[in-house]
């Protein structure tokens, strides 16, 4: 069985402070991990995926297979980063997605 764990329901940081949203996974195969973001009153959208090793809006995430983690990081938080962030694992022939419970990021001005 696959599982995605996001231990923090809410993370509050001051503007300009570093951000780290934690994500741990459990999966027997080779995982494909993603971060999705949902801004207030908007649909869920892809933020970044581990396979492309990209930086989007200043966010990065590194897959650590040894620690089974895929933490999302940003060196300097901005107010516009306030949103719900979901870590997700894609697997299976039909590309089933398992979502974590989400972390609400609140950036305090």
Partner 1 sequence: GAVVSQHPSRVICKSGTSVKIECRSLDFQATTMFWYRQFPKQSLMLMATSNEGSKATYEQGVEKDKFLINHASLTLSTLTVTSAHPEDSSFYICSARRQGVTYNEQFFGPGTRLTVL
Residue 62 Cβ vs partner 1, minimum distance, rounded to whole Å = 17
Backbone φ and ψ for 70, nearest 5 degrees, come out as: -150, 65
Beta bridge partners of 12: 106
The residue to which tokens 């908007």 are assigned: 42
Whose Cβ is closer to partner 1: residue 73's or residue 104's?
104
Please give the C-alpha separations between residue 94 and each of 45, 58, 91, in angstroms, as whole numbers: 19, 31, 8
Residue 93 Cβ vs partner 1, minimum distance, rounded to whole Å = 10
Residue 52 Cβ vs partner 1, minimum distance, rounded to whole Å = 7
Whose Cβ is closer to partner 1: residue 17's or residue 46's?
46
CA 92 – CA 103 distance, rounded (Å): 25
Whose Cβ is closer to partner 1: residue 15's or residue 97's?
97
Token representation of residue 10: 């809410």
Residue 78 Cβ vs partner 1, minimum distance, rounded to whole Å = 23
| Contact footprint for partner 1 (CB under 8 A) | 32, 36, 43-46, 49, 51-52, 86, 90, 94-102
Give the H or E element holding residue 84. Answer: strand 83-91
């Amino acid at each position: 069985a696959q599982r995605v764990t996001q231990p923090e329901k809410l993370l509050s940081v001051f503007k300009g402070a570093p951000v780290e949203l934690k994500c741990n996974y459990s999966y027997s195969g080779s995982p494909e991990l993603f971060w999705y973001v949902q801004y207030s009153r908007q649909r869920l959208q892809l933020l970044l995926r581990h396979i492309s090793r990209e930086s989007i809006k200043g966010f990065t995430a590194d897959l650590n297979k040894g620690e089974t983690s895929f933490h999302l990081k940003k060196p300097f938080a901005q107010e516009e980063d306030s949103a719900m962030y979901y870590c997700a694992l894609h697997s299976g022939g039909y590309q089933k997605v398992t979502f974590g419970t989400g972390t609400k990021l609140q950036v305090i001005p």
